């Protein structure tokens, strides 16, 4: 990367985002790192030099629009955007095991975070990305694959991630005309040892439960290898394609 690269990480309060911030800073000290998060800057990255830490709720479309407007006034364009935003469960709801478990209010919360929040940002890709090669990554999940769904269940999460994948794929069609060098990626990080997966780790083999550091390293290693011509990319932590 060049000395003028700007990198944006959205969802900066997560464990994976923290690792992305630390590793990006270590790998490319000259890059200007911008981080968007609902929370204050973590003590885990106080030693990392950032261009800006923005406290912002990505479900708030007006707040996102205002921030984008500020960057445009400042002439800030990004070479790489990575969104780690996502929710699987909360104290109020859990992944559904059967059809009767579907609760529309919970479903809408999951869609708001997993899909709408990313749409709030991706809609500004033509205004935020540089004209030369640029990368926009959203954290998706293998369970968002429609053709690979053999187990069922987890209705809200599956639906929201499938919708997120469709957002990425549809945006890629438009950006082929408007930003020909943009690489769009839906990334499945595997099962990572974070609060999101914690209630569901019992049946995960130890070698398949990854650390945030590992999945961040895998993504940052894979990204430069992805081509515009073969995009958009729906890939796992090994860089292997996942059927849409």
Which one, of 96, 124, 125, lies nearest residue 110 by Cα? 96
Model pLDDT for residues 188-205, shown as the tens digit of each residue? 998 877 666 556 556 665
Q: How far is CA 91 from CA 36, 37, 57, 115, 202, in A?
A: 24, 21, 19, 20, 19
Model pLDDT for residues 48-65, shown as the tens digit of each residue? 888 899 999 999 999 999
Q: Is 239 left (phi over 0), alpha (psi -120 to 50) or beta?
A: left
Tokens representing 72 are 């445009």
Global pTM reads 0.93
Architecture, CATH, for domain 6-236 = 3-Layer(aba) Sandwich (3.40)
Which regions of the chain are under pLDDT 50?
1-2
Contacts (Cβ under 8 Å, ≥6 apart) of 139: 11, 16, 82, 83, 84, 85, 86, 187, 189
C-beta of residue 11 within 8 angstroms of C-beta of residue 84: yes
Tokens representing 29 are 């000290």
């Amino acid at each position: 990367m060049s000395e003028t690269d700007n990198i944006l990480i959205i969802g900066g309060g997560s464990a994976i985002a923290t690792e992305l911030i630390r590793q990006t800073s270590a790998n490319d000290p000259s890059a200007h790192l911008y981080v968007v998060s609902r929370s204050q800057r973590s003590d885990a990255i106080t030693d990392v030099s950032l261009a800006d830490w923005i406290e912002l709720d990505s479900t708030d479309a007006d707040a996102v629009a205002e921030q984008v407007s500020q960057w445009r006034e400042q002439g800030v364009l990004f070479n790489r955007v990575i969104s780690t935003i996502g929710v699987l469960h909360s104290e109020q709801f859990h992944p559904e095991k059967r059809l009767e478990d579907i609760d529309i209010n919970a479903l809408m919360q999951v869609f708001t975070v997993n899909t709408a929040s990313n749409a709030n940002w991706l809609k500004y890709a033509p205004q935020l990305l540089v004209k030369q090669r640029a990368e926009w990554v959203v954290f998706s999940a293998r369970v968002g694959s429609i053709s690979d769904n053999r187990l069922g269940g987890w209705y809200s999460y599956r639906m929201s991630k499938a919708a997120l994948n469709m957002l990425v794929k549809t945006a890629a069609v438009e950006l082929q005309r408007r930003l020909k060098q943009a690489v769009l990626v839906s990334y499945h990080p595997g099962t990572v040892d974070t609060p999101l997966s914690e209630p569901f780790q019992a049946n995960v083999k130890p070698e398949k439960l990854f650390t945030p550091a590992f999945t961040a390293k895998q993504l940052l290693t894979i990204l430069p290898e992805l081509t515009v011509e073969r995009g958009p990319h729906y890939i796992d932590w090994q860089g292997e394609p996942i059927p849409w």
